[in-house]
Chain A
Amino acid sequence: MKLIDIAVNNLRRKKGRTFFLVAGLALGIGAAVALTSVGDAMNREVMHTLDEFGANILVTPATEDLPLSYGGMTISAVNTGGRSLTLEDARRIRTIKNSENVSTVAPKLLVVSEVGKTKVMVAGVEFPAEFKLKKWWRVASGMKPGEVSEVLIGKDAAAKLGLAPGDNVTLGNGTFRVSGMLGDTGSQDDGLIFADLTAVQKQFRKGDAISLIELAALCSGCPIEDMVAQVNGVLPGAKAVAVKETVELKMQAMHYFHRFSLGISLLLLIVAGMIIFFAMTASVKERVQEIGLFRAIGFRTGHIIQVLLIEAFFVSLLAGVAGYALGAASPRIIAPYLMSAYNLKFVFDPGLAAGAVAASVLVGIAASIYPAVRAGRLDPIEALRTL
């Protein structure tokens, strides 16, 4: 038998008291874990929305001109001369420090073409990247382009030009087949024809040039401004700007929620610590004679403190594990009823699990130190009143 056996036997043979202690601390830890995991899940949801939201960084050729807009009408710098971007620039974006946060790089070449007597804007795009970037795109009729000679046409453009899937259309020096028509997007995409980037470069004799690059960056760990600066760093001839209003508002709301949940978690841990403190103090009072006996038969102050802190360690370890399980399971059950607007996905987070157990043990031990030291210093003769 060792000191640890005394502690474990006490916990084992006083199951009711042990259960109360574990449950008290586990509830506190559980609530903190639940708040944190809901916060994390909401954060991921916002990041996902950010991805769905489309591009949040726009890269255009740098221009030394003043803005070419008047009364809400803009003549883009994209096609007004100056240095244009190339596909090599698009590739270089993948070399920035936070490149793992770049989910999509969608280069585009914008050209104007005539179909019959009507001018139309043709966007040369890389279709896989474009579909990834614009998750709201739906092919209303026909199919996604599968060949380089196939184009996707916006709804308004199809109506104005009298084109339907299956028709051929001449753009620049080449003939393309309309493979599908986009559903209503409510954006400028409705009036455009989308063709394969390399085909547009070839048919309009643009070489390797592109007009702009749209980026979707997932930036939970770094400010979007950092990534913009990094892109500007690797592309000296270009100008990257962040498109950020909505996302930033959401991020700000998330930030407030994160701070709120951190505050509440801290409060819960303090309450849990107080439960342990009072329960330990009561336990020491209840065990005064036992502690007096230990002292009488030769236990040093340190031995008594050890026994009590070992008990606190096991109680808080158990509470940490139970609290994490409780806190991780409860939002999965409750969240769908409370936050139907969010499609929250919970994942096992080893960091949160380890943090919960560590916080529990820390709170349990810290709250027990004072009662344990007091117990260790009990005067044996006071404890054993009969002597």
Chain B
Amino acid sequence: MAFIDLKNVTKAFPAGEDDYPAVRGVSLGIESGEFVAVMGPSGSGKSTLLSLLGGLSHPTSGVVSVDGIDLGGLGPNKLSDFRREYLGFVFQSFYLVPYLTAVENVMLPLVIQPGMNGTAKGAALEALRKVGLDAKAHRLPSQLSGGEQERVAIARAIVNKPPVILADEPTGNLDSRTGDQVLDMLRDLHRDGHTIVMVTHNVENAKRAGRTIEIRDGQVVN
């Protein structure tokens, strides 16, 4: 069994009388330490696939497991604990909390981690240093550029040193130069040993990954 393992996974959404299957019978495996790009056009089901990997939604049928843990068997709170321990999310829209400073945003995953009270700020500053933003640690998101906000989001994703980083169109809202910087960062994180699954519809971006999974109409085609 692979580190991330999907077996015949289907995810359907209610649409009128019938359910619309966004992901249909997908089976795939991603090994620990891989950098995988999930490619496909808009509406192909790639983001739904990422939400299944991240335990943000349950499959309609099939089994999703990470590190041998069957995510379907976890209740809402256990799933929260799983995400905190195993995953770092990088979203296209950054999702920074507007009333918290950069360093406070990065600290968020540590706030609820037992035993991190004394060391949380140091770890957050260290993560910000990794993405080159330690000088702007005390700025609010509204005082940062789009690229800087994405870097804060990456710092937040890595601050608790999760084995897996899930990135959903991480360069979607950035200009090409800043987008390149973000991809370089993801590559560096891969070198540091993180397993990275990146959703993108950009072929050039996908080439940075070690493997590309192509998805169309909810099915893996390549």
Interface residues of A (CB under 8 A from B): 1-3, 5-6, 9-10, 12-14, 289-290, 292-303, 377, 379-381, 384, 386-387
**Cα of A292 to Cα of B168 in the assembled complex, Å:** 15
**Cα of A5 to Cα of B120 in the assembled complex, Å:** 13
Known: A1-B111, A387-B50, A387-B91. A380 touches B77 (CB 8 A): no
Known: A5-B104, A303-B112. A298 touches B81 (CB 8 A): yes
**For residue A295, which residue of chain B has the nearest CB?**
B80
Instruction: Identify which of residues 19-59 in chain B touch chain A, using a CB-to-CB cut-off of 8 Å.
Output: 47-48, 50-51, 54, 56-57
Q: Distance (Å) between the CB of A172 and the closest chain B CB? A: 90
B85 at the interface (CB under 8 A from A): yes
Closest 9 CB pairs of A and B: A298-B84, A13-B99, A293-B95, A381-B56, A381-B57, A387-B51, A300-B80, A300-B77, A297-B109
**Cα of A110 to Cα of B83 in the assembled complex, Å:** 94
Can you show 25 pairs from A to B with CB atoms below 8 A apart?
A1-B110, A2-B111, A6-B100, A6-B108, A9-B100, A9-B104, A12-B99, A13-B140, A14-B99, A290-B97, A290-B98, A294-B108, A296-B56, A296-B83, A297-B83, A298-B83, A298-B109, A381-B57, A384-B56, A384-B91, A386-B91, A386-B93, A386-B169, A387-B47, A387-B50
Checking A2, A293, A381 against B51 with a beta-carbon cut-off of 8 angstroms, the contacting residue is A381
B92 at the interface (CB under 8 A from A): yes
**Cα of A298 to Cα of B169 in the assembled complex, Å:** 21
**Cα of A299 to Cα of B111 in the assembled complex, Å:** 9
Which B residues are CB-close (under 8 A) to A9? 99-100, 104
Which A residues are CB-close (under 8 A) to B112? 3, 298-300, 303
**Cα of A296 to Cα of B168 in the assembled complex, Å:** 13
Which A residues are CB-close (under 8 A) to B120? 1
Which B residues are CB-close (under 8 A) to A10? 99
B107 at the interface (CB under 8 A from A): yes
Q: Distance (Å) between the CB of A316 and the closest chain B CB? A: 20
Q: How many residues of B contact A (CB 8 A)?
A: 38
Q: Distance (Å) between the CB of A321 and the closest chain B CB? A: 23
Q: Distance (Å) between the CB of A158 and the closest chain B CB? A: 83
Checking B92, B93, B156 against A297 with a beta-carbon cut-off of 8 angstroms, the contacting residue is B156
Asked whether A1 lies within 8 Å of B107 as measured between CB atoms, the reply is: yes
The SS class assigned to the A binding surface is: helix
Asked whether A296 lies within 8 Å of B54 as measured between CB atoms, the reply is: yes
Which A residues are CB-close (under 8 A) to B68? none
**Cα of A5 to Cα of B84 in the assembled complex, Å:** 20
Which A residues are CB-close (under 8 A) to B48? 387
**Cα of A3 to Cα of B89 in the assembled complex, Å:** 20
**Cα of A5 to Cα of B99 in the assembled complex, Å:** 11
Which B residues are CB-close (under 8 A) to A302? 77
Instruction: Identify which of residues 61-106 in chain B touch chain A, using a CB-to-CB cut-off of 8 Å.
Output: 76-77, 80-81, 83-85, 89, 91-93, 95, 97-100, 104
Known: A6-B100, A293-B95, A294-B108. A299 touches B80 (CB 8 A): yes
Which B residues are CB-close (under 8 A) to A298? 80-81, 83-85, 109, 112-113
Which A residues are CB-close (under 8 A) to B156? 297
Asked whether B104 lies within 8 Å of A1 as measured between CB atoms, the reply is: yes
Asked whether A2 lies within 8 Å of B117 as measured between CB atoms, the reply is: yes
Which A residues are CB-close (under 8 A) to B99? 9-10, 12-14
B121 at the interface (CB under 8 A from A): yes
